Each structure stands twice: as structure tokens, then as C-alpha cells.
Structure 1
Amino acid sequence: MEYREVNTSDIPDLAKLRSMDWGTREYWTNRISGYIGGERNPQYALPPRVLYVASDNEKIIGFIAGHLSSRFNCDGELQWINVHPTYQRKGIASELLKVLTKWFVGQQARKICVDADPDDEKAQNFYKQNRARKLSEHWLVWDDIGVLIE
């Protein structure tokens, strides 16, 4: 498994992964391209942002995105994380989270929030197993995400 920063040529694969849960490839191609280029900004997002992919024999099987943010007095926000269903439950999402955590820590961003559908038990459990705590109905937070890599 290889973990690396995203290239613009990866966007169609990322859009395909996102569209497996919701929306069309075209919708996600536009969203992801705009996010990478800084033209589409989540509320309270600050310019520094990054995306990492997980690939297996050069096939993209997962990705994670995050940015600095002032939402809820946090330092950053995990925007998206997706892993192809065939590769789920193999530690890939946790490894992607650690890769993003290193970036956040390098940006001096420790308090990180993430939006998760309260009805998405899989997402809720993933974040809680990775030491996030409930902030509100839709939001979880790491008071110090650095604990994931220290």
C-alpha cells in the first residue's frame, strides 16, 4: 500500500469513490477540483489544505482531505475520507487518518473537527475508535489529534 499526496490526475478516481456513497461523478469532480484549487471552500475553511490517496499497485483505493479551519474554534477539519468497499476494514482509513494527522501537526493544528452523519454508525464508530469525541449531533472533535501519531 502506498500513501501519497494527491495529483490533479487522481481527481476522476476520487470522484468515483465519493459517488459510490452519494452524488454523481461529475458533481464530485467539480467539488473536489474546486476544493483542491481553493475555489470551493467549506465554511470557516482557511487556505492551507491537503489530500492524500491510498493506492494498491497504482490503483487508488482511498483518500482523505483536510484543511485548516476556524469552525467551532478548531484548528482544522477533516473534510472527506473514503475507502473502496473491497478494501474496507483493513486499516487503510486509519492509516490515511494518521497521514493527515502528520500534516495537521506540521501545521500546528491540533484541535480537529469532522462532520459525520449521526445515522452513519460506521463513520461514528470509526472516529470514536480513533479517539474523537462527540461535539454535537453532527460533529466530532479531536482535542489533540496528535495522540494518533505520538
Structure 2
Amino acid sequence: MGDRIHSLEQIAQNRYGLDLPFVWPRLWLVLPDQARTEITSTHAAFAAAVVTGGWAWPYLALGTLWWPSALIGIGVGVVGWTRARAAIGDLTTLSEAALDLHSRALATTLGISPADTTGPLTIAEGKQITTLIRKGR
């Protein structure tokens, strides 16, 4: 799951010149409501999967006293992990789509590119955005 997140950060850096941890909050503010809703619901699915997986620990602890509980804990853990992997895959795919479709809007909003510019964000524009947003950090 961490590899999927890291991959998204690398795509943002290599394809668009964007430092995603700094850029994402600003991009979020220019995303249309539909995109934010989709990403939010996918994030909620990931959070629910993490909670499900978290319930494995009490069952496993109880398994030291009553062995069937350990089996339940393993089952709950596997279900949580499987759901979390699927949700993080969906989340990174949607986040990459948001970068592809709406990073130009961020560049326009920040004054990096003119409003009539179309097409994908260039690496040079992405680097300008990153420099502006990082504010010397």
C-alpha cells in the first residue's frame, strides 16, 4: 500500500514536476465537487478497512487464552488488509486522475499559466508551482 502512495508521488514529480505533499492541499481546493466526493468516499472506504483490520488485534490477544479467537483474528485481519489494499488502489488511481485532469486549473489559479491554456501541465509549469507553494522549504 505504501508503494502505491510512493508511486503516485513519483508520477506527480516525474510527469508534472509537482511535489505532491505540498501541492495536494492546494489542488484539493480547485477540484470540482464531483472529484472531491469520489476521492472522499474512497478515502472513507480505506479508513473503514483500517478499522476492520484493527479489530484483529483484540481477537489475537484473546487468542492467547482461547484459541478459536486467534482464528477469528486472523480472518478479520486478512479481510481488513484485503479491503485496504483495494481501497488504496482506488484512492491512488483517483488521485492520479485528479492530477491529470485538474493540475492545469491549479496552474491557472496560481497565475502560472494563462486561463486559455489547455492540455496537460508541463514539467516546467509544475516546477514553478512547486517552487511557489514550497515557499523556500
TM-score, reference length from structure 1: 0.23
Q: Counting strand residues as a fraction of each chain, which structure ranks higher?
A: 1
When Rg is computed on C-alpha atoms for both structures, the one with the higher figure is 2
Q: Counting helix residues as a fraction of each chain, which structure ranks higher?
A: 2
Higher RCO, Cα 8 Å, sep 6+: 2
